[in-house]
Each structure stands twice: as structure tokens, then as C-alpha cells.
Amino acid sequence: MATLEGKTIIALTADAGVERVELTEPRSALEEAGARVLLASPSGDQVQTFDGLDKAGSVPADLAISAVDASTADGFLLPGGVVNGDFLRTDEDAVRLLRDALRDGVPVAVICHGPWTLVETGQLQGRRMTSWPSLRTDLTNAGADWHDEQVVVCEAGPGMLVSSRKPGDIPAFSQAAIKAYAA
């Protein structure tokens, strides 16, 4: 198993609407592999998670997205959640960070509705990826080559992009993300 000792991964979320397991399970896997995982949200306060449409617990953010120093990030993690993806795509700081990350070759791992934020970056042209099926048209219109697969790892472009469809894909998603961040 790859080690992520000394690596810092930034998980970007909205303040609410985050699919709980898509944040907590990959985060735990990354931490078990040795990464330091920081949670950044617009407020830098509590992040309300959900299990589907039902409120789950809150998770404390480590910092506000506006305070993220991209030069300290070895990778970015974007969990899903319909509300999360829709809100985060309107956060200018989050979009800027992800645009720069994709342009500069920083690995990004994204699951479910998380790719909505990546659509706003303008950096998906020719990149293979997957998502929750309802995002297929948005991703295709943004230039992505969409596939209905458990995990898609795309090395086209300057950086690695790891994507998955749903909570059931989390074990494979987490392992692919660990490999991408370790590379």
C-alpha cells in the first residue's frame, strides 16, 4: 500500500449538504495511509453532513477556503452531495483553487456530485471521468469524456484526476486516490 507520509490533502466542501460517507470514509483512508487531511469550507466553521436527504452529524472545518494556501496542498478531495456540489461550484475561491490545481498538475479526487465544481474550472476538456449519472451531460458539455465506471483515473493533462460515481465505489475510489497522491 502506498504511503502518504508528509502529504497534505485539502478536502473542499460547502458548509452544508455534504454526503457524510463521501467525506469521512475517504478522509479516514487517506489518514490511515499517513496523509494530513484538512477540511476547508467557505465559513471555516462546522460542515453539516447528510446521509442522502437526511441530516447527519456536523464535522468541524480546519480552515476557510479563502485561507487555503494552494502551495501547501499535495492534492484535493471533493466529496459529493447534491447540495454540496451545487453550492461549492459558486464559491469563487474553491473554483480558483481547483482550476489552478488541475492546471498545475496537483492530483484531484472527486466523487458523485463533486464534479459539478470542476465544471466551473474550464479544465475538463479531454479528461476521462465519471460521476453520479445525472452529471453526465454537464461534464460532457464541459469537454470531459464521461464513462460509467466504478473509478476512472485520468492522467491526460498536467495532473491526475480520480473520479467515482457513488458511495458504493468508495473503497476503490479511496485506493485510487491514495495511489494518485503518492505518485
Q: Name the residues annotated as catalytic.
A: 112-113
Residue among 108, 23, 106, 12 at smallest CA distance from 66: 12
93, 125 Cβ separation under 8 angstroms: no
Alpha carbons 143 and 151: distance in angstroms, whole number = 19
Alpha carbons 43 and 46: distance in angstroms, whole number = 8
Q: Which residue has the cell 504511503?
A: 3
